[in-house]
Chain A
Amino acid sequence: MSASLPMQTAQVSEADHQVVRVPRRRFRPRHLAGRVAVNVTGLIVIVVMAFPVYWLVISSFKPGKDLLTRTPQFLPTHPTLANYADALSRPYFWTSVRNSLIVTLVTVALSLVIAFLAALAVSRMRFHGRTAYIVMIIMVQMVPLTALIISLYLMLNAVHLTDQLVGVIFTYLAFVLPFTIWTLRGFVGNIPPELEEAALVDGCTRMQAFRRIVFPLVAPGLVATSVFAFIQAWNEYVLAYVLLSSQGKQTLTVWLAAFTTQKGTEWGPLMAASVLTAIPVVVFFLLVQNRMASGLTAGAVKG
């Protein structure tokens, strides 16, 4: 990618690097008016994006008769924790949480390692079959999952991997990998190979060069892809439902589906449960974000 940067920008950077590094300023508008405009627009964006989430959260605190009212209740007039109590008291909640965590974390960890290796190869190296590999990665994402479910089940059943978390993890990996490889490829591709090579010339081992130079620069990409992988695995329903048969093995999304019976769906408890299932995702994101951010600073300083 670095080679496709327009020439003039490369020249600019040559010319200014000593000068510009001194101010170390943040990318912020200088004028007060500009800053106000930015923050007001930002606030509007936050409110619009957050409103449906807000509606979900307050609904989870409303009793049944207040869920749909002709005059909307922007704050619950009869706040209650009954929905949460109901959701938490259902059988298999904690086993489902555990299963979901195992499946998701293993999928994320494996996918990051595997995808990072593949991204290095694809973005840095020339080899026979590279084009075919990229086309395969892209095409795999275009196939609708529903069309593959039955074949997947039959295959895993034949090797006794149905009703096993391992089977689900492998399947998720295959569906998450194309995206993670593709995205990391973009991030790795943006790192000039010269940088690493310079490190090698300076006497670093290849591992050190990776750790000190490549890894920190790819970190934001790793955050984005790990969150993607986490959410894909955490929220997947159909595969988990078809591949896992015993309730002790089910994941959270399958557990959520049991809120719908012949009599309809119990929306209050379902919304409370959805809020609960969203919390680990947010926690994961904040953790990863902080880790990566600190790793980033450290790496950058060393580099």
Chain B
Amino acid sequence: MTSTAMSPRATTQQEPSGPSLRPRRRRGDRMPYWLVLPSVVVIAAVLAYPLFQLLSLSLQQYRLKELLKGKGEFIGLKNYQAILTDPFFWQVVLRSVLFTAVAVTATIGIGTGIALLMRRMNRAMRIALNVVLILVWAIPGLVSIVVFQWMVDFEFGVVNYLLTKLGLDFDKHNWFENPVQGFAVIAALVVWGALPFVVITLYAGLTQVPRELEEAAMVDGATGRQVFWNVTMPVLRPVYVILTSLSVIWDFMVFQQIWVMLNGRPTPDYYTIGVYSFVQSFGVNDYGKGSAIAVIMVLMLLSVTWIYIRQMVKIGEVK
């Protein structure tokens, strides 16, 4: 990574800016439509029908029998009603929200720390860390979950072994007997798995922050924290919006980590919304209900990330 190479960019910051020099904002210019066209075509071609089907199935009684016939029975909002009036569903939602809050905060916090640290490391260490991050990311999900499972195994786990060596009583400690501890292990796995993506994206974003701005602010007596919030953060904001929203989306829907870690037999204490929808719906072929849960999940995520989305939309319009 060439950190020095980025410095000339700072010279760009003080080019004269004036509203008169913005020829491409003209109304009626067809350019933007041509530019977004390919993406709209691909996304619409692949996803329009399945998304329409998702909405339509959520309003139907649709199980294996109906799947074979290719025709379900319209039952209005009954699937939604059944899900939303089940008190267990709300317990699960609450658990998912808590898990998401903890995991996302940890992911973004630790990710920021590592990305900032990376700028200060020497080159050899930075490359080493980069390779480690990519390896973490590149290992098939299922396998990394199993490695974690082995590491915290109650009988053969290296974690219990090391903690016992340190003089703590962790011999035959079962990490999953108490769901709080169990979720701590799962959160560690989720955060560990998400860090490469977060750190690499943040680090790429950091290279766009003009060094001169930060250093000049330092020279002017700003503390490191002030520099981060006032200089670095504004440039990184769009990247943070993306990373946080995506982490929220992924962690809220977390399924595979819990499912595989608990050998496909999680007790109800371990149900998050992702596990619940699988168990209640996909596992037993109630596609109608499964679709309804998916729609509810999208609506919940939209409401959580709405503030961000509005900001995203605004950011562009301000200019």
Contacts and interface: CB of A to CB of B under 8 A. Distances in A.
Interface string A118-132: 101111111100110
Which one of A122, A133, A142 has the highest number of Cβ atoms from chain B below 10 Å of its Cβ? A142
Contact of B143 (A56, A115, A134, A201): A56
Interface residues of B, number: 131
Contacts of B201: 183, 224, 228
Interface in A43-95: 43, 45-46, 49-50, 52-53, 55-56, 59, 67-72
Contacts of B147: 52, 55-56, 59, 271
Contact of B234 (A9, A293, A297): A9
Contacts, number: 353
Contacts of B3: 26-27
A281 interface: yes
Given A5-B234, A49-B195, A173-B42, A282 B239 contact: no
Contact of A186 (B122, B141, B239): B239
B225 interface: no
A13 B212 contact: yes
A60 B6 CA distance: 41
B32 A127 contact: yes
A174 B47 contact: yes
B316 A293 contact: no
Contacts of B84: none
Interface string B1-40: 1111111111111111100011111000101110110111
A195 interface: yes
Contacts of A143: 51, 54, 294, 298
A15 interface: yes
Contacts of B135: 50, 53, 278, 282
Interface string B88-124: 0000000000000000000000000010011111100
Contacts of A131: 313
Nearest to A293: B2
Nearest to B31: A125
B122 A72 contact: no
The 6 lowest CB-CB distance pairs between A and B, nearest first, are A186-B238, A174-B46, A281-B138, A121-B35, A220-B204, A151-B50
